[in-house]
């Protein structure tokens, strides 16, 4: 299958601007600026059905159309703060196909009439940031960025802004705070960024992968794009596969075209050491786990945004972490909770204190000194975090506990009865 | 404490954003690159250029994990042991690394050469386990042999 996003796998040296141009690069941006009005571009992206690839799946074109009329300046901020455990797609796209990201940003900026776009990239991605900066300089030299683009009045500059280590900045309002030189902590919504965003101006925030889809939509048309995938989840998706598989990596497939079985056993080469599959985290640490041991049919569901709802989970950004039969589920839940406890920004009490206590209890159970009351206490504390925080991190932080207790309560009970983990020694 | 060049670079940064406060984080990156950490005197210089108080500069410098207010070793190893890396042996590897360096994660070796830090997911799970060296260089598909070679290189550089 032809790749639309991971085109670096089909075309050598795609990150060089001359190679990118040879394969049609910046043709879509030219078409948008020369032949279409900004509203026509937005309408095309709406009609394509493109949904945000950062995890929430909100329709991108609809987001662009929310900006209040006549209020300028307005900003596009690209969310390149890819920090979800198990997610590494945007990094590959930026490092190996940076011009497609820049072209997507340019088209989106034109659509919302923004003249200064920012890429907020996590500080731990220095090479990806360098690749973007190089691509921007090349695009400026070719006249794709700067003043009078394609001999029109449209002008655009793009600035790469490096973060400094904070998962929370992937949340869009925390990202805006961080862009403004403040602590990365979420804002109260409403007002939404569309009306009061960066520097209190109308702002659109899009994920890297989302924007990398835009050039093809403009070049080949919304109708063509909408035929890829399913009616509700259109286009291709990059699946990040990691954990106990033989071939971890990024795999691009149309929504609704592959199942976990295809992804893990076909593309991923199966479980390491021919072991049995125990559990899958479809959305990194942020979505509840699913298990073929409990629901055998979960392996054969064709994956799109809605496919995992019947199993109490979500596809999120499709960061698929695979765990084999030897994995201790209590340990895995503890690992993920440790992450959330460290990454809670501290603004909302239920998340700040709740993640601390969830971790304490998981450590207690894992250390073999838990009591049977601890399991219910865990879910009780998790429930008290849910829905009581400004941003979704609080809800995310409960996923490891809620998902694992629901599917593997017997493993928790055995840890308590046997005073520790039988699998890893006590 | 900051060199004239860095101060000029920070002043230039402050003109590149619609609001100069946005230059605070890039300025902290530049200063830490030059000095190695962010002591009060450096924060005062930056705060004055950016137009914030030292407290504000300090709160930002302590919120984000890549900045350090205290001196670190000549080199810093950010070692990831989040779930995807841990599923591929990161916990055991971190233990070995601590043993080899003679210090725990969060500490610096006795000779001041290497600071070891636990990192949150570094976005390299397809090549786990991974580490980030000096905030600049990703090391992936780590093995004990690779770690030995890495530590030897850092000690000798």
Q: State whether residue A352 sits within 8 Å of chain B by CB.
A: no
- Which residue, A282, A280, A288, A245, is CA-closest to A266? A245
- Which residue, A89, A91, A97, is CA-closest to A240? A89
Q: Both A27 and A128 in a single domain?
A: yes
DSSP labels, A408-425: HHHHHHHHHHTTS-TTT-
Using a CB-CB cut-off of 8 Å, the residues of chain B touching A82 are: 123
pLDDT tens across A325-362, in order?
999 999 999 999 999 999 999 999 999 999 999 999 99
pLDDT score for A426 = 44
Q: What is the dihedral of CA A284, A286, A291, A295, to 10 degrees?
A: -130
Q: Both A248 and A314 in a single domain?
A: yes
Question: Does ipTM come in above 0.85?
Answer: yes
Regarding pTM above 0.95, the answer is yes
Using a CB-CB cut-off of 8 Å, the residues of chain B touching A320 are: none
Average pLDDT over residues A116-142: 98
Residue of B nearest to A89 (CA): B123
Return d(Cα A275, Cα B33) in angstroms, integer. 46
Give, in order, the Cα–Cα distances in Å from A323 to each of A205, A264, B145: 33, 11, 25
Structural domain includes residue A163: yes
Q: Which of residues 62-91 of B touch A (CB under 8 A)?
A: 63-67, 78, 82-84, 86-88
Average pLDDT over residues B6-26: 97
Structural domain includes residue A2: no
Q: State whether residue B126 sits within 8 Å of chain A by CB.
A: yes
Q: Both A383 and A276 in a single domain?
A: no
The total of other beta-carbon atoms located within 10 Å of residue A290's CB is 22
Size of interface A-B (CB pairs under 8 A): 139
Q: Both A95 and A176 in a single domain?
A: yes
Query: Per the CB < 8 Å rule, is A85 touching B59?
Result: no
Q: Both A211 and A284 in a single domain?
A: no
Structural domain includes residue A305: yes
Structural domain includes residue A347: yes
Asked if the model's pLDDT at residue A190 lies above 60, the reply is yes
Asked if the model's pLDDT at residue B18 lies above 50, the reply is yes
CATH number at residue A39: 3.40.50.11540
Which tokens belong to A272?
């390491």
Q: Both A59 and A151 in a single domain?
A: yes
Q: How many residues does chain A have?
A: 426
- Averaged pLDDT of chain A: 97
Q: What is the dihedral of CA A10, A11, A14, A16, to 10 degrees?
A: 170
C-beta separation of A47 from A59 below 8 A: no
Which residue segments constitute the domains of chain B, with CATH numbers given? Answer: 4-63 (1.10.10), 75-155 (3.40.30.10)
Give, in order, the Cα–Cα distances in Å from B20 to each of A133, A404, B14, B25, B63: 20, 46, 5, 11, 20
Instruction: Kindly tell me the burial class for residue A282, based on how many C-beta atoms sit within 10 Å of its own C-beta (0-12, 13-18, 19 or more).
Output: buried
Q: Describe the strand order of the beta sheet including A116-121 as a list of residue ranges.
A: A157-162, A116-121, A75-80, A203-207
Average pLDDT over residues A387-398: 95
DSSP labels, A367-412: TT---THHHHHHHHHHHHHTT-SSSTHHHHHHHHHHHHHHHHHHHH
Which regions of A16-111 does DSSP assign to beta strands (E)?
A: 75-80
Confidence of residue A425 (pLDDT cuts 50, 70, 90): low
C-beta separation of A130 from A96 below 8 A: no
The total of other beta-carbon atoms located within 10 Å of residue A218's CB is 27
Within a 13 Å sphere around the CA of A166, how many CA atoms are in the beta-carbon half?
A: 29
**Residue where a domain stops, chosen among A178, A194, A226:** A226
Using a CB-CB cut-off of 8 Å, the residues of chain B touching A84 are: 121
Q: Which of B18, B84, B87 sits opposite A199 (nearest CB)?
A: B18
Asked if the model's pLDDT at residue A424 lies above 80, the reply is no
pLDDT score for B1 = 85
Q: Both A319 and A334 in a single domain?
A: no
Q: What is the dihedral of CA A21, A25, A28, A29, to 10 degrees?
A: -80
Q: State whether residue B29 sits within 8 Å of chain A by CB.
A: yes
Q: What is the dihedral of CA B125, B128, B131, B136, to 10 degrees?
A: -50
Residues near A215 by beta carbon (within 8 Å), at least 6 away in sequence = A28, A29, A100, A103, A104, A107
Q: Both A134 and A271 in a single domain?
A: no
Q: State whether residue B12 sits within 8 Å of chain A by CB.
A: no
**Structural domains counted in chain A:** 3
Structural domain including A269 reads: 236-324
Q: State whether residue A175 sits within 8 Å of chain B by CB.
A: no
Residue of B nearest to A176 (CA): B22
């Amino acid at each position: 299958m032809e790749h639309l996003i991971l085109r670096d796998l089909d075309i050598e040296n795609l990150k060089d601007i001359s190679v990118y141009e040879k394969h049609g690069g910046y043709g879509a941006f030219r078409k948008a600026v020369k032949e279409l009005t900004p509203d026509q571009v937005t309408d095309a992206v709406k009609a394509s059905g493109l949904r945000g690839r950062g995890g929430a799946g909100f329709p991108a074109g609809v987001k662009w159309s929310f900006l209040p009329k006549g209020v300028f300046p307005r900003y596009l901020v690209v969310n390149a703060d890819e920090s979800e455990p198990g997610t590494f797609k945007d990094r590959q796209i930026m490092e190996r196909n940076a011009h497609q990201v820049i072209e997507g940003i340019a088209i989106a900026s034109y659509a919302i009439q923004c003249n200064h776009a920012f890429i907020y990239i996590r500080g731990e991605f220095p090479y990806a940031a360098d690749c973007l900066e190089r691509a921007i300089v090349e695009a400026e030299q070719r006249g794709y960025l700067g003043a009078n683009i394609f001999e029109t009045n449209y002008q655009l500059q793009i600035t790469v802004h490096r973060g400094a280590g904070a998962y929370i900045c992937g949340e869009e309002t925390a990202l805006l705070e961080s862009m403004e030189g403040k602590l990365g902590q979420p804002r109260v919504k409403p007002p939404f960024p569309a009306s009061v965003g960066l520097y209190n101006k109308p702002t659109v925030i899009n994920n890297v992968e989302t924007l990398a889809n835009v050039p093809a939509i403009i070049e080949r048309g919304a109708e063509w794009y909408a035929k890829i995938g399913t009616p509700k989840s259109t286009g291709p998706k990059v699946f990040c596969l990691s954990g106990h598989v033989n071939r971890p990596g990024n795999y691009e497939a149309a929504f609704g075209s592959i199942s976990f079985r295809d992804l893990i056993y076909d593309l991923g080469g199966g479980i390491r050491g021919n072991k049995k599959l125990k559990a899958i985290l479809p959305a990194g640490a942020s979505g509840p786990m699913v298990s073929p041991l409990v629901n055998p049919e979960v392996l054969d569901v064709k994956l799109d945004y809605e496919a995992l709802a019947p199993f109490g989970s979500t596809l999120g950004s499709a960061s698929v972490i695979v765990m084999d039969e030897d994995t201790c589920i209590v340990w895995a839940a503890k690992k993920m909770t440790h992450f959330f406890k460290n990454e809670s920004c501290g603004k909302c009490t239920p998340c700040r204190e709740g993640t601390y206590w969830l971790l304490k209890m998981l450590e207690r159970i894992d250390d073999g000194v838990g009591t049977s009351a601890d399991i219910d206490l865990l879910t009780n504390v998790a429930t008290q975090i849910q829905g009581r925080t400004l941003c979704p991190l609080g809800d995310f932080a409960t996923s490891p506990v809620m998902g694992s207790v629901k599917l593997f309560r017997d493993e928790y009970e055995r840890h308590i009865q046997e005073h520790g983990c039988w699998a890893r020694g006590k | 404490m900051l060199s004239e060049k860095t101060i000029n670079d920070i002043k230039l940064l402050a003109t590149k954003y619609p609001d100069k406060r946005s230059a605070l984080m890039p300025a902290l990156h530049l200063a830490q690159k030059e000095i190695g950490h962010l002591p009060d005197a450096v924060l005062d210089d930056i705060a004055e250029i950016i137009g914030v108080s030292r407290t504000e500069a300090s709160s930002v410098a302590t919120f984000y994990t890549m900045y350090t207010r205290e001196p670190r070793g000549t080199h810093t190893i950010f070692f990831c042991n989040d779930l995807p890396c841990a599923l591929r042996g990161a916990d055991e590897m971190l233990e070995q690394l601590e043993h080899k360096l003679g210090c725990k994660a969060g500490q610096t070796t006795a000779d001041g050469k290497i600071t070891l830090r636990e990192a949150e997911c570094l976005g390299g799970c397809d090549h786990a386990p991974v580490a980030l060296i000096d905030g600049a260089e990703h090391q992936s598909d780590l093995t004990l042999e690779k770690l030995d070679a890495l530590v030897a290189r850092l000690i000798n550089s």
